[in-house]
Structure 1
């Protein structure tokens, strides 16, 4: 079993939180944290697979469809934008959680983006083939695969791609402010180095690990178009030139207050699709709506001594927060919900259950599409520039609808 230790230092809005550089703001550098736990989720499977575009069973894809079957369409005059829900997971290195989400996909029309840590394409025996900028060879802030885990991870990635999900980059060694130098310290050369290695680890996974030819990763590096930095750290002026140089077109690292339509960076034309800072259900407490940030706020990122009933109550609050966000934007500006998560079992699976239950309850509703970042961008790029600009000019949704 592969388990990520992917972490992000939380920003909750308002007063400074540990490791946060710009709490509650809208500029690059706002941080969040990420490290999954290790209990096996329970899941049920069904026999028919819903399609992203219709909610029915998968059939031959129509012309112009994305790999998950979603067909982007231009808005007609006076037509309201669809409601997009974009769920993503950092790290994506845990077999049992892959299965949990594959099973959810069988129940509702749901596809997602997995941000892969490049170090998961190595093992504890081959780790010295990676050297993060400013660090020694074989060093990483997240754990390494056992050699036997690597073929399992590759098989899970292949299934995810075949099922129509998207893979992006979570870069490699997950170096943050707790293990400097990290994203907040790196310049463009360092980010170029990190991305060079990320794509090299994907391309050379067999050679690096002496894998047999029967094990093959079906991930075309050209299909990787975006990423999220570890701990949401870094500075756009350093990061975006490196992203552009590597053919990446979107970033989801830097958060914004409220729910608003994505825009492109002026110089590098990188789509900025950050997560929202939104009030926790029943409060005026704004925070980044990422699973670890909820965990930090509710339990100071510790499950010690937490009872199942307490975890269930925490989970219900998180799910209600997601629902508040959906209701606000569906009734309001229709900006996409960008929900960041991890393969984790924190707080007795409270956060995995919350996003799973939210997805199950909302994906497939009328005019609602639960899709990867790739599909959202395809839709935005299809719209008339004036129409998209009007959507982007709307005020953010700042409270429950």
Structure 2
């Protein structure tokens, strides 16, 4: 017969063992949330000072941007006849041309610097015409004009020396497009696929939406986000906010108010995704300083806060697409 203390010890050990057997197995670790993507882009990309300002913002925050370039800004008054839009006579543009050969030279330099810093140079057509009624052939003509003018910009304008590798960059680096006025039609998407583009950013969605892949092209949409005292929806682009705030007319006395409203709208849209499903947030801008720079001031404040977060990446459209393309390949390695 065992001594009483040994019986007690055995009983406690048995109970401990039984408790372990009856306990629930530990829950598997939750998968880590993906980084919150923020995709910031600029349409037309004209003013040299804004090229510099945007690149400085990127350097401070670690962001990479997409610049949707309008190719008429690579033509001076002397070389504007190089562009002939569908259905228009040569030398016509809705947004003018570069003011001088010197301006073209400086813009080419900024494009090259931005590309070398990892930014995405994409297409916005040339003359900023509304292509809602264009045919596939019309769109292909516009794409061809863009490609030819970008590739030959140094030669067309008599700017020397042409940087080594420029033509290779012009032929291969531009893989994305945004339609002027966000005015897209079925013929546009047919032409984009035929021309070998990888993404289009001409869509508009009810809120932040994941891009849709189809027919060899990824389609992105600028979201409508709540803004202002009544939280009415507005497209997350500076021009749309400008029209919302001041009817498209300058009100510099209210610049701070408009900047704060814009920042609040951006931050609320970001926070919702950051705490939730982490759908990419797209924000669109121009190089124009509307309402005394209110929207750029809001952008710099916003990017300075969120792009520096460890679990946030302010990324270009091109790089976002590249990562999506690479994901299945990575998953299959090692079988």
TM-score of the two chains, using structure 1 as the length reference: 0.71
Aligned counterparts of 1:320 and 1:98: Cα–Cα separation in 2: 25
2:175 is matched with: 225
- Is this contact kept in 1: 2:154–2:162, CA < 8 A? no
In structure 2, the residue matched to 1:92 is 45
CA distance 1:214–1:383, shift in 2 (3 Å): closer
Task: Return the alpha-carbon distance in structure 2 between the equivalents of residues 307 and 113 of structure 1.
Answer: 28
Aligned partner of 1:148 among 102, 105, 108:
102
Q: Which residue of 2 aligns with 1:261?
A: 210
What are the Cα deviations for residues 284-341 of structure 1, in whole angstroms up to 9, with x where unaligned?
Answer: 31121100000001011110xx243x11110110011110111011111111011111
318, 323, 326: which is aligned to 1:382? 326
> Cα RMSD over matched residues?
1.8
CA contact (8 A) 1:151 1:215 kept: no
Gaps of 5+ in 1: 1-75, 177-182, 388-401
Task: Indicate how the Cα distance of structure 1 residues 217 and 209 shifts in structure 2: closer, same or farther if over 3 A, else same.
Answer: farther
Secondary structure (helix, strand or coil) at the match of 1:353 reads helix
Asked if the contact 2:209–2:221 (Cα under 8 Å) also holds between the matched residues in 1, the reply is no
1:142–1:215 Cα change, 3 Å: farther
Change (3 A) 1:213 1:366: closer
- Residue 366 (structure 1) shift: 2.5
Does the C-alpha gap of structure 1 residues 214 and 263 become closer, same or farther in structure 2, counting only changes over 3 Å?
A: closer
Aligned match of 1:211 in 146, 159, 164?
159
Taking the TM superposition and a 5 Å limit, the aligned residue runs for 1:104-253 are 104-145=57-98, 146-176=100-130, 183-214=131-162, 218=166, 219-235=169-185, 237-253=186-202
Post-superposition shift, 1:143? 1.8
Q: Which residue of 2 aligns with 1:31?
A: none
Q: 8 Å contact 1:131–1:138 — kept in the other structure?
A: yes
The question of whether the paired residues in 2 share the 8 Å contact of 1:155 and 1:217 is answered with no
Pick the aligned partner of 2:224 from 272, 277, 280. 277
Tell whether the 8 Å contact from 1:89 to 1:114 is kept in structure 2 after alignment: yes
In the alignment, what sits opposite 1:64?
A: none
Q: 1:191 & 1:136 partners in 2: Cα distance?
A: 16
What is the distance in 2 between the residues matched to 1:79 and 1:288?
31
Q: Match of 1:36?
A: none
User: Where is the strand percentage greater, Structure 1 or Structure 2?
Assistant: 2
Distance 1:243 1:136, change over 3 A: same
For residue 372 of structure 1, the aligned residue among 313, 316, 324 is 316
Per-residue Cα deviation, 1:342-388 (whole angstroms, up to 9, x for no partner): 11111000011111111111112121001111121122223349x9x
CA contact 2:37–2:313 (8 Å) conserved in 1? yes
Residue in structure 2 matched with residue 19 of structure 1 by the alignment: none
CA distance in structure 1 between the partners assigned to 2:228 and 2:320 by the alignment: 26
Cα drift, residue 99 of structure 1: 1.3
Alpha-carbon offset, residue 214 of structure 1: 4.9
Larger Rg: 2
Residue 302 of structure 2 aligns with which residue? 358
Query: Of Structure 1 and Structure 2, which has the larger fraction of its residues in helix?
Result: 2
Structure 2-normalised TM-score? Answer: 0.85
Give the aligned partner of residue 22 of structure 2.
none
Unaligned runs of 5+ in 2: 1-28
Q: 2:233 aligns with which of 260, 277, 286?
A: 286
Q: Which range moved further: 238-247 or 149-158?
A: 238-247
